[in-house]
A and B are shown apart, each in its own frame.
Chain A
Amino acid sequence: MPPRTRLIDLKGWIFLAVLAAFCLAVPVLNLAVPEGSGLHLPTYLVSLFGKYLAYALLAVSLDLVWGYCGILSLGHGAFFALGGYAMGMYLMRQIGSRGVYGNPLLPDFMVFLNYKSLPWYWYGFDHFAFAALMVLLVPGLLAFLFGWLAFRSRVTGVYLSIITQAMTYALMLAFFRNDMGLGGNNGLTDFKDLLGFNVQSQGFRVGIFVATGIALALGYLIARVMTVSAYGKILIAVRDAESRTRFLGYRPEHFKTLAFTVSAMMAGVAGALYVPQVGIINPGEFAPGNSIEAVIWVAVGGRGTLVGAALGAVIVNYAKTILTGAMPDAWLFALGALFVVVTLFMPRGIVGTLMEKFGSRRAAAKLPPEPEIAPKLAEEGRGS
């Protein structure tokens, strides 16, 4: 029996240390350094970094299913957005009578659309605890149902990717409807406060940034626990040889469903932390393109490494911020080229490539197998 994998390996320690340093440095630079100083970090940058960390958590959740379970979900943006909507609904309820119409019971858009009373699914969102529960439950339940159906029927590979994409597309269309009672096209916005803190205030911005950092660290640890445990070994076995694992007596669908559900909850939390920092959630978050973009973060950082996923999310989004500001036209060229270059020349991503070069051979062997370049698919008959 090979030696037990440590819960936190070298790259994990580096990751957690960097994250902790980041979460300490940013508040200090923002709060303690006086405004005129060259080292002062403006509050908008704090929120921008917080947004990156939320994306990183989404990327980690995606890596859990894609890197360790072989499920390429093109619908993780949906779980992210659902978590965001749950948080957005709580934030809407906190506005109370401070809206434009000043209605104590109904949010502005409902007054505008002539709602007479609060739809039933808005009940309970006045309470933070309930909203927090929904942030986990709604994406989790959807993922559980979806995964349970799909994995039981052995829908795998491309087919699974396409139906996850169809799922997020259907949700996008649904949330665009005004009848949905969730703000339609405009989504939910104009938030005032969360747990009594003004969402615009500097203190809150720093607080939620740190909270996102902690959530990312926790998400990483949960994913680590899941992947280094005995359960994780089966998960990897399912990824590499699903039929063989099944013939050995395991039920791949159970393992996959659990991983998918946990991952979706994680994505939901990421969305919930994202919304107060950007101040809006709208159906555009469900757009299939967003989910595919999240996949490329994971691919750039290195799938099956968790740390790489987080790193990829931060790097790609930082590049996006820089490029869309400097040369708006160039961003799509750059992103498109990134997709192509990474898949062609860096199939293991940044961290995976580094591990191959400098890491132990044993660790590198745990990465998802680099698929052979030969046209294997054609030999197995049509399709894949």
Chain B
Amino acid sequence: MIRLLTLLFLLLAGPALAQAPDPYAQLAGESYAEIEAGVAGLAASGDPRAGAVLSALSEGRLLARPSDKALFIRQGSALTDAKTGAAAPDDPALKAVRANNRVRRGIEAAQGQLNLVSPDPAKRREAADAVFKARDAAALPALDTALAREKDAGVKQVMSEARAAVLLAKPGTSESEKLAALPAIQARGDGDAMGILRGLGADPSEAVRAAAGRGIAAIETRLAILGALQNVWYGISLGSVLLLAAIGLAITFGVMGIINMAHGEMVMLGAYTTYLVQEAIRTKAPALFPWSLAISIPCAFLVAGLVGVLIERFIIRFLYGRPLETLLATFGVSLVLQQAVRSLFGPTNREVGAPAFMSGAFDFYGLSVTWGRMWIILFSLAVFLGLLFVLRKTSFGLKTRAVTQNRRMAAAMGIRTPYVDALTFGLGSGIAGIAGVALSQIDNVSPNLGQGYIIDSFLVVVFGGVGNLWGTLVAALTLGVVNKLAEPYIGAVLAKIGLLIFIILFIQKRPRGLFALKGRAVES
């Protein structure tokens, strides 16, 4: 190791030391020690062909000619000169350059160092991260070289963090060097940084210990804030799911006053439609798979909406003005739908795939954000705004509001109220079906899918204020965020129970929800 370091140092000392051995010649050498030195030399040389040579060596494709120590790379049946890259004729005297475990480790380290100066910034960042994690003192010289040439500010920061981490971990770093390295680690501010600072707790220097302690405190604060923000994000995510589940109900229950216990089953139908659409795409046109969710949305809307219209025409129509009876009848419908789906598709979960854009995550100032959740949040807001638009700005929405506010007057104005009733119920059901498309991505697609959402949906609508879409939005997000903020302290189940009790008490205080419609109805 010391020899290697010395060698490295010598090589890094640069062109001034003309006697630096040619790494190519060393690679073609006899002993492993020579080969190892050659690897290190090649890595430090900054030779643009170094990467290719090293990977050829690790894969056993690097050949040497013992007579003049020339190196060649075998690429299939072709040979190229390792130093120049020019094509070379085959030669039976060529022998493969051997590698033992030490050499292999050397190759790995060398490749990491090469990546530090790679032209691709993502590769450089990755390599710097690797150094940060490994804290290998041997990488320090290469890191210094790379740091000196680095132009990209982001990568430069990661590199200096890595450098600081190496310095702090390396025995024999002076106190002043350590103190200088600390701020970079503290600025990084994540769990890894915390680990490094904790490791300094036994440092002989008082000043270093104190600085590390301050750093830990600062990082803890930061992590706590970050944790809270992460929970808020989860809460918004949960809220968006609640919003999706409840928004259709905000139409059927909120606007029309129908207690639709089959609402959850509309969501379930939407999810199963997604499943069927995906199955059809898989067998008929696999190329369309990334679009499967987009194709499912109108299908789910139509399927659930159609079922909704049928329910309205054949059952609910006869029960207007008897909300408690609609509750029972639609509960019956929900049982029938559940059992029908169970008989058709079986009781087990169905697999609904996620297109590529739904998977993966990205880092947002230390918050980890999954794309799937992100899209669902955006989607729920889009559905909400779309629904708002339909109700506020279209002729159909105008008629809906007219009929629900004053049926007789609307009828007198020539609005065909039964049509509007059926279509409004269909709209609410269709929206529930759309919700099913999104929920199929995060929940099990089984006949019981809808049951899990029905009580929550009702509570969201009631909490937000019946007949008020904005209330539904606020209620869904509030309940989601409060639930997730409470979870770390009291656990998921107690948080949920607490919310239920809160809503029960809240209804006592404001029986009409958060945003009640003003009216003179004494008991309606």
A interface, CB within 8 angstroms of B: 72, 146, 149-150, 152-159, 161-163, 165-167, 169-170, 173-174, 176-177, 242-243, 288-289, 292, 295-296, 299, 329, 332-333, 335-340, 342-344, 347, 371-384
Question: Please, which residue of chain A has its CB at the minimum distance from the CB of B343?
Answer: A329
CB distance from B368 to the nearest CB of A (A): 29
- Give Cα distance in the complex from A55 to B410, angstroms: 46
Known: A338-B332, A343-B319. A72 touches B511 (CB 8 A): no
Report 26 cross-chain contacts, Cβ distance below 8 Å, ordered by A residue.
Answer: A149-B508, A153-B508, A161-B259, A161-B324, A162-B459, A163-B503, A163-B504, A166-B455, A166-B459, A173-B493, A173-B496, A176-B493, A292-B331, A296-B328, A296-B332, A332-B335, A340-B332, A343-B319, A373-B318, A377-B524, A381-B517, A382-B255, A382-B517, A383-B466, A383-B467, A383-B524
CB distance from A276 to the nearest CB of B (A): 29
Question: Please, which residue of chain A has its CB at the minimum distance from the CB of B492?
Answer: A173
- Give Cα distance in the complex from A343 to B331, angstroms: 11
Residues of B within 8 A of A379 (CB): 406-408
B interface, CB within 8 angstroms of A: 255, 257, 259, 261, 315, 318-329, 331-340, 342-343, 403-408, 451, 455, 458-459, 462, 466-467, 493-494, 496-497, 500-501, 503-505, 507-509, 511-512, 517, 519, 521-524
Partner of A382, one of B320, B405, B451, B504: B405
Contact B507 A243 (CB under 8 A): no
Partner of B321, one of A176, A332, A377: A377
Contact A243 B504 (CB under 8 A): no
- Which of A72, A242, A344, A374 has the most C-beta atoms of chain B within 10 angstroms of its own C-beta? A344
Contact A336 B466 (CB under 8 A): no
- Give Cα distance in the complex from A332 to B347, angstroms: 13
- Which of B332, B494, B522 has the most C-beta atoms of chain A within 10 angstroms of its own C-beta? B332
Contact A377 B320 (CB under 8 A): yes
Partner of B329, one of A156, A165, A174, A344: A344
CB distance from B456 to the nearest CB of A (A): 9
Known: A336-B335, A382-B257. A344 touches B315 (CB 8 A): yes
Question: Please, which residue of chain A has its CB at the minimum distance from the CB of B421?
Answer: A375
Contact A242 B523 (CB under 8 A): yes
Contact B406 A378 (CB under 8 A): yes
Contact B334 A336 (CB under 8 A): yes
- Give Cα distance in the complex from A189 to B408, angstroms: 58
- Give Cα distance in the complex from A375 to B519, angstroms: 19
- Give Cα distance in the complex from A381 to B403, angstroms: 10
Question: Please, which residue of chain B has its CB at the minimum distance from the CB of A151?
Answer: B508
Contact A158 B259 (CB under 8 A): yes
Partner of A376, one of B321, B336, B337, B496: B321
Contact A332 B336 (CB under 8 A): yes
Question: Please, which residue of chain A has its CB at the minimum distance from the CB of B259?
Answer: A158
15 other A-B residue contacts (CB within 8 Å) besides A332-B339, A371-B325 = A72-B324, A154-B523, A155-B511, A158-B327, A159-B462, A159-B507, A173-B493, A292-B328, A332-B335, A374-B320, A377-B323, A378-B406, A379-B407, A379-B408, A383-B466
- Give Cα distance in the complex from A243 to B508, angstroms: 18
Residues of A within 8 A of B338 (CB): 332
Known: A167-B504, A176-B493, A329-B339. A382 touches B466 (CB 8 A): yes
Residues of B within 8 A of A336 (CB): 331-337, 339
Partner of A384, one of B323, B405, B406: B323
Contact B319 A344 (CB under 8 A): yes
- Give Cα distance in the complex from A374 to B317, angstroms: 10
Residues of A within 8 A of B496 (CB): 170, 173
Residues of A within 8 A of B340 (CB): 333
Residues of B within 8 A of A343 (CB): 319, 325-326, 328-329, 332
Question: Please, which residue of chain B has its CB at the minimum distance from the CB of A332?
Answer: B339
- Give Cα distance in the complex from A150 to B331, angstroms: 24
Residues of A within 8 A of B343 (CB): 329
CB distance from B370 to the nearest CB of A (A): 27
Question: Please, which residue of chain A has its CB at the minimum distance from the CB of B339?
Answer: A332
- Give Cα distance in the complex from A339 to B340, angstroms: 16
- Give Cα distance in the complex from A379 to B327, angstroms: 20
- Give Cα distance in the complex from A156 to B463, angstroms: 15
Partner of A383, one of B257, B331, B455: B257
Known: A169-B455, A170-B501, A332-B335. A340 touches B315 (CB 8 A): yes
CB distance from A173 to the nearest CB of B (A): 5
CB distance from A10 to the nearest CB of B (A): 28
CB distance from B458 to the nearest CB of A (A): 5
Contact B327 A161 (CB under 8 A): yes
Known: A343-B328, A380-B524. A177 touches B493 (CB 8 A): yes
- Give Cα distance in the complex from A215 to B372, angstroms: 56
CB distance from A313 to the nearest CB of B (A): 15
- Give Cα distance in the complex from A177 to B338, angstroms: 27
Partner of A337, one of B320, B325, B332, B523: B332
Question: Please, which residue of chain B has its CB at the minimum distance from the CB of A148?
Answer: B508
Residues of B within 8 A of A157 (CB): 323-324
Contact A333 B336 (CB under 8 A): yes
- Which of B324, B338, B342, B500 has the most C-beta atoms of chain A within 10 angstroms of its own C-beta? B324
CB distance from A240 to the nearest CB of B (A): 12
